[in-house]
């Protein structure tokens, strides 16, 4: 379904683009899962959007836990591949999958067992919103293993330069979700009307299909992960290396999710409509950050392979050109969110003028930070490729946590709810600036070290 790219050779921007486009497409697909749910649920009720948006934070936490294996495998495989050592890459894949499955089982069980307490944390006053969120989370937690497996399958293939196969596979999953969503939410034909539970079932079934396809490809096509043996004695040395690489970005993303959960608790004090606005607005905004994440994965694989091959000049040039592309996209995203805010938000809640009015304010404030957010995400990918996952973690955690006191302070002024959106936007701008400057220093230090 796809072929591997040699990232240590060839014209840089062309090589990066060929690798990045399918990854970006895959990121768009992941975003489209959520947008599809929100689009149909928005036609059901604003409360259902608020409920799914609340429960959806725990999929975000799941994604942060996936990053332990996703980043650890990605960096280890790309560097091993750059050295030409496919056997070592295979060993890391086995260890990464073992770690990922163990985390998935524990997290899924915890979500299901404590689902009522988890949703209760938000202190949502509308009882029907709470009930819908609990029911949605019950279904999602049962299928958690599949949410964990698919990003790791994708990361393994991306690291070897094959980004086409994950794109095609995830596209099939999206189509399944798009077909099942309206059928199960509204009860079309012989199917019962399941509303928010229908959205959850559609998403889980799509993820199961994607896992099945990845497994089929592995057994029949001879991919890098086809020789992985999950049922074998764990290699704790390699598991430790994967965890060492993956835990920092996982902690950063987990902190970001935890901070967002606390921010949502602040937002809930303004009512259920602001919760829906945050849920829908963040999904629209994800057009830019998911695309940036996709391109950052390509930068990470590119930097990893060239770092393994000792090609430092190629790393510097690849980063420079990659950030130019991401910066251009960030500017486009800013313009889109600022000047097309009303039609974008109206698409999801066409019959709720109050939600549209508040949503436009959200998008325009967050639109100011899109360029800096794209630079931050791309630079984090470059750090990961070097195996230096601590710097983006430090910057991300510090400024994400700062959102809590900043949002609490600004929302208590005349700005009200808008103060929360400004706190998020300001911290994103600072993250992009600081991480970009830090990476420039790291590149200088690496060059000086290699010269001595």
**What whole-number distance in Å separates Cα of residue 214 and Cα of residue 225?**
10
> 162 with 144: CB under 8 angstroms?
no
Nearest to 269 by CA among 409, 370, 379, 123: 123
* pLDDT score of 23 more than 80: no
Maximal C-alpha separation, the chain: 72
Mean pLDDT on 5-12: 71
Instruction: Dump pLDDT digits (tens) for 400-443.
Output: 999 999 999 999 999 999 999 999 999 999 999 999 999 988 88
Out of 81-85, 126-130, 207-211, 391-395, pick the least confident.
81-85
Q: Would the pTM of this model clear 0.75, i.e. be above it?
A: no
The Cβ-side half-sphere exposure at 171, using a 13 Å CA radius, reads: 11
Mind spelling out the 3-state secondary structure of 279-338?
Answer: HHHHHHHHHHHHHHHHHHHHHHHHHHHHHHCCCHHHHHHHHHHHHHHHHHHHHHHHHHHH
What angle separates helix 46-82 from helix 12-44, to the nearest 10 degrees? 160
> 393 with 255: CB under 8 angstroms?
no
> 252 with 392: CB under 8 angstroms?
yes
**What whole-number distance in Å separates Cα of residue 264 and Cα of residue 337?**
21
Instruction: Dump pLDDT digits (tens) for 298-337.
Output: 888 888 888 877 788 888 888 888 899 899 989 999 999 9
Q: pLDDT-based confidence at 226, cuts 50/70/90?
A: low
Out of 105-114, 192-201, 313-322, 425-434, pick the least confident.
313-322
> 140 with 197: CB under 8 angstroms?
no
**What whole-number distance in Å separates Cα of residue 252 and Cα of residue 248?**
6
Q: pLDDT-based confidence at 221, cuts 50/70/90?
A: low
The secondary structure of residue 163, as a DSSP letter, is: -
Residue 261: partners with Cβ closer than 8 Å, 6 or more residues away: 57, 121, 122
Nearest to 391 by CA among 248, 231, 290: 248
Average pLDDT for the chain: 85
* pLDDT at residue 227 in the model: 62
Distances (CA, A) of 329 to 140, 371, 401, 432: 33, 7, 27, 14
Distances (CA, A) of 33 to 29, 110, 213, 268, 417: 6, 24, 18, 25, 28
* pLDDT score of 222 more than 90: no
Domain ranges in the chain are 12-446
Q: pLDDT-based confidence at 110, cuts 50/70/90?
A: very high
DSSP 89-149: HHHHHHHHHHHHHHHHHHHHHHHHHTHHHHHHTT--S-HHHHHHHHHHHHHHHHTHHHHHH
> 431 with 376: CB under 8 angstroms?
yes
Residue 231: partners with Cβ closer than 8 Å, 6 or more residues away: none
Distances (CA, A) of 340 to 135, 183, 191, 335: 34, 30, 37, 8
The Cβ-side half-sphere exposure at 71, using a 13 Å CA radius, reads: 33
What angle separates helix 127-142 from helix 144-159, to the nearest 10 degrees? 60
């Amino acid at each position: 379904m796809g072929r591997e790219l040699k990232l240590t050779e060839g014209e840089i921007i062309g090589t990066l683009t060929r690798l990045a486009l399918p990854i970006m497409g895959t990121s768009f697909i992941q975003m489209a899962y959520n947008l599809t749910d929100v689009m149909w649920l928005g036609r059901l009720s604003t409360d259902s959007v608020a409920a799914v948006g609340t429960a959806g934070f725990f999929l975000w936490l799941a994604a942060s836990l996936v990053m332990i294996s996703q980043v650890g495998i990605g960096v280890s495989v790309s560097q091993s591949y750059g050295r030409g050592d496919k056997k070592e890459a295979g060993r890391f894949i086995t260890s990464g999958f073992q770690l990922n499955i163990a985390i998935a089982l524990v997290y899924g069980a915890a979500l299901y067992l404590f689902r009522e307490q988890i949703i209760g944390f938000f202190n949502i006053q509308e009882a029907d919103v709470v009930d819908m969120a609990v029911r949605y989370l019950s279904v999602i937690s049962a299928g958690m293993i599949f949410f964990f497996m698919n990003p790791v399958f994708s990361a393994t293939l991306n690291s070897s330069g094959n980004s086409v196969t994950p794109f095609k596979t995830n596209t099939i999953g999206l189509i399944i979700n798009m077909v099942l969503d309206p059928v199960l939410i509204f009860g079309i034909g012989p199917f019962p009307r399941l509303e928010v539970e229908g959205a959850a079932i559609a998403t889980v079934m799509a993820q199961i299909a994607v896992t099945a396809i990845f497994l089929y490809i592995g057994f029949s096509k001879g991919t890098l992960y086809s020789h992985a043996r999950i049922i074998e004695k764990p290699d704790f040395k390699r598991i430790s290396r994967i965890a060492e690489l993956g835990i920092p970005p996982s902690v950063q993303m987990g902190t970001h999710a935890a901070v967002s959960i606390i921010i949502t608790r602040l937002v809930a004090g303004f009512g259920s409509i602001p919760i829906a606005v945050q849920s829908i607005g963040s999904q629209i905004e994800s057009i830019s950050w998911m695309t940036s994440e996709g391109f950052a994965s390509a930068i990470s694989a590119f930097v990893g392979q060239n770092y393994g091959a000792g090609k430092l000049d190629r790393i510097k040039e690849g980063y420079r050109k990659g950030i130019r592309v991401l910066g251009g996209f960030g500017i486009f995203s800013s313009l889109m969110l600022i000047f097309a805010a009303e039609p974008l938000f109206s698409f999801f809640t066409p019959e709720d003028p109050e939600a549209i009015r508040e949503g436009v304010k959200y998008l325009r404030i967050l639109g100011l930070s899109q360029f800096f957010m794209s630079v931050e995400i791309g630079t984090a990918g470059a750090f990961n490729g070097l195996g230096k996952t601590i710097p983006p973690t430090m910057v991300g955690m510090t400024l994400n946590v700062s959102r809590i006191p900043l949002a609490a302070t600004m929302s208590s002024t005349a700005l009200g709810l808008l103060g929360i959106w400004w706190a998020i936007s300001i911290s994103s701008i600072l993250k992009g600036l600081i991480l970009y400057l830090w990476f420039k220093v790291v590149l200088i230090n690496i060059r000086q070290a290699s010269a001595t």
